[in-house]
Structure 1
Amino acid sequence: MDHRLSPAATARFILLLAIVLFLGGCRFLPWRSSPAPRPGHGLQDGKTAGHGEEPRIVFEEPDLPQPAGEVATPARKRACGSPPPPGRRLPQVAIIIDDMGYHRRIGGQLLNLDMELTFSFLPGAPFTPELEEHAYQLGRDILVHLPMEAKDPKWDPGPGKLLLSYSPERLRTTVRKDLAAVPHAIGANNHMGSRFTEDRRAMRTVLGELKKRDFFFIDSYTTAASTGMEEAAALGMKTGRRNVFLDNVHSRDKICNQIGQLIALAEKRGWAIGIGHPNQATLEALTRCRKRLLRQVRVVGVHNLVR
């Protein structure tokens, strides 16, 4: 008996076999369950990556300005130099850690550093309540990191944002909610805000709410045309401005160089304010440079440096 398949049956068998092999192979292909977040938009949903991972979030606007006349170029030895002569008063430095509340592990490690750091919390971040309470128990200065509109709309300030399109009443209501989310705060600074802080009327509205609570305001200075410090002073508020961003480049060595610049500026004028962020490189740099830093300057809560 001839058991050979007809040409048509053979073709059907080959087609069926190909389909089975294709479907079976799909199980092992590395499909993504969801698209990767766009830069600046991961902050909006406030979710962590799961399994203890830190969220990949773009927090700051690029190309941030250096305040005019406040650039000090230290020698390499300066950040690791000898302590000042006996009897000389140490210059004062405040280091604000912005964007607290999204990075639970690194945020906790920064809080536990034996250094008088200042911590600025995003009002809509998932770990703000826990980490803010920890900071309060440690006696650290606590700020509200007010999310403000950037010039480029792709940079999303996140939950609790303040936009120029808001009415004055909506701005006030949003600020009140942001402040309520960080109950132990004694001051505020801006998150992003290159567009918002250039608008005097909007800044006066926001600062008016801060003044009611006897807050001070630190201008993060994300645009050279910021009106934040000037408007706060006009309202009779204590205020100050960021001098050095420590970690625009997430490299331990480069951050240590920026710390050296912060120290040099403090030695030149008696005090300086730096801003860093809760990332691994910043944690490593502060851990590595802590003893050297404390030999050359006195690290203080930022409330000591507002005028």
Structure 2
Amino acid sequence: MFKSKEIVIITILLSILMVLTSCGTEEEEAMKPQEEPQTKIKKIDYQTKVEAIDEDVHKILKNIRLKKQKLGKDKSVTKIKKTEQYQFDWSYNTYHLQVPLFGAAGRLLSEYRTEVINKFKEQFEVVDLEWDNQQQQRLVLNIGFKAQDEFKLITHQLVFTQPHPKAKMAIIIDDFGFNRQGTQGMLSINRPLTAAVLPFRPYSEKDAKLAKAAGLEVILHQPLEPISPQANPGQGAIYTDMEEEEIKQTFLKNLNSLPKVSGINHHMGSKASADPRVMKQLLSVVKDKDLFYVDSSTSQHTVGAKIARQKNIPTKENHLFIDNVDKQQEIEKMISRLSEVALAKGELIIVGHVKKNTAQAIKKMIPELEEKGIKLVYASQIVN
């Protein structure tokens, strides 16, 4: 039997042990991380919004004259994205559009991609883009909106593609405003043409407005002094005996007589276009007005294109006149021959006149040109 003294000691030791054990347990409990209450994630389904965006996409395509039926839906997949507070559910749609190069609706994607991009940026909060012009023309637009927590949610990818033409050809039609025998024929061609309008002729302003309404590019057909004194370049002409200020003022009056033009070429001008003094004064105004210049090549000694390049003015030369012989079949043959030159060079500017036979010949030759892969364009699309 334990003595009472021993019992007391044992009791004390057990009490101490219990206290130590209790402290260790409390310390261990204190060291355990406290579990935070779970945050409930809110699920948001954006399918209705995606469908509304889809409708807006097609409206924009219609507005920029790209037909809805040409838009093929490649795929539509359901996407889920979780953040700390949200779960977003939506459908991601990919569309592919082959942009027509030829035909009445054909337009170079490189020339109106800015219009396409701006239309989508006006409508949608998020528009990311990619542009590639190597193997083909390819514009990719990633469209969407900002959801909760500023999360960028992409709902649509639009892929616009267009092959490169084998060559580009610009046809400038001289003498609008005066000879109206082929005017209606030219206006009905329904392809890019550049109308060169003479100043101060009976129908100058009217023809310029009609040409713009028909989708033609309009430039000033600036009369310049020819070598032959018997040839009359007409009102608004610039002569080599003019003072520098008179040259500039005459040219400005001609520009102001027409609706806004994008460039100029010249009428006659075998003498004046070979005069460096005259052309420097004329082209200084062209540069100030941010216009382009096409040297009509009416003289072997022309200095127009050379001076324009020195002034960093967008410029190109007329390769050849197509209707020196005013017969439809001869003009067709000339266009056919020049199409081979265009294919060899990659681009070409040629010039015709407002004549009935010229208009009919151009219409007749369009299928052949497009079959060869030659895209008719405005002069500005070559000089630039």
> What TM-score do the two structures reach when normalised by structure 2?
0.56
Higher strand share: 2
Task: Indicate yes or no: 2:343 matched with 1:273.
Answer: no
154-163 vs 101-110, which deviates more?
Answer: 101-110
- In the alignment, what sits opposite 2:146? none
- In the alignment, what sits opposite 2:247? 171
Deviations 1:178-214 (A, max 9, x none): 1112222100001010000111011000011111110
Contact 2:321-2:352 within 8 A present in 1 as well: yes
C-alpha RMSD of the superposition: 1.5
Task: Indicate yes or no: 2:210 matched with 1:134.
Answer: yes
- In the alignment, what sits opposite 1:218? 294
- In the alignment, what sits opposite 1:59? none
Deviations 1:3-58 (A, max 9, x none): xxxxxxxxxxxxxxxxxxxxxxxxxxxxxxxxxxxxxxxxxxxxxxxxxxxxxxxx
Contact 1:97-1:278 within 8 A present in 2 as well: yes
Contact 2:240-2:272 within 8 A present in 1 as well: yes
Contact 1:244-1:258 within 8 A present in 2 as well: no
- In the alignment, what sits opposite 1:303? 380
Decide which structure has the larger Cα Rg and report it: 2
Contact 1:245-1:275 within 8 A present in 2 as well: yes
Deviations 1:117-173 (A, max 9, x none): 110000121111111112222332111000000001111100101001111111111
Letter of the 2:348 counterpart:
A
Task: Indicate yes or no: 2:227 matched with 1:151.
Answer: yes
Deviations 1:264-288 (A, max 9, x none): 1110010111100011211221122
Alignment partner of 1:243 out of 319, 322, 328: 319
- In the alignment, what sits opposite 1:230? 306
Tell me which of the two structures has the higher relative contact order, counting C-alpha pairs closer than 8 angstroms and 6 or more residues apart: 1
Contact 1:110-1:278 within 8 A present in 2 as well: yes
- In the alignment, what sits opposite 1:111? 187
The Cα of 1:105 is off from its aligned counterpart by 4.7
269 and 142 in structure 1: CA distance in 2 versus 1, 3 angstrom threshold: same
Letter of the 2:383 counterpart:
V
114 and 199 in structure 1: CA distance in 2 versus 1, 3 angstrom threshold: same
Q: How many residues align?
A: 222
Alignment partner of 2:281 out of 179, 188, 205: 205
89 and 109 in structure 1: CA distance in 2 versus 1, 3 angstrom threshold: closer
Runs of 4+ in structure 1 deviating by more than 6 angstroms, as ranges, are none
Unaligned runs of 5+ in 1: 1-85
Q: Which residues in structure 2 correspond to 1:40-79 (within 5 Å)?
A: none
Letter of the 2:330 counterpart:
K
Letter of the 1:263 counterpart:
S
Contact 1:147-1:158 within 8 A present in 2 as well: yes
Q: Which residues in structure 2 correspond to 1:183-194 (within 5 Å)?
A: 183-194=259-270
Secondary structure of 2:182's match? helix
> What TM-score do the two structures reach when normalised by structure 1?
0.70
- Counterpart CA distance in 1 for 2:348 and 2:337 is 10
Alignment partner of 2:257 out of 147, 156, 181: 181
Contact 2:167-2:347 within 8 A present in 1 as well: yes
- In the alignment, what sits opposite 1:262? 338
Contact 2:181-2:355 within 8 A present in 1 as well: no
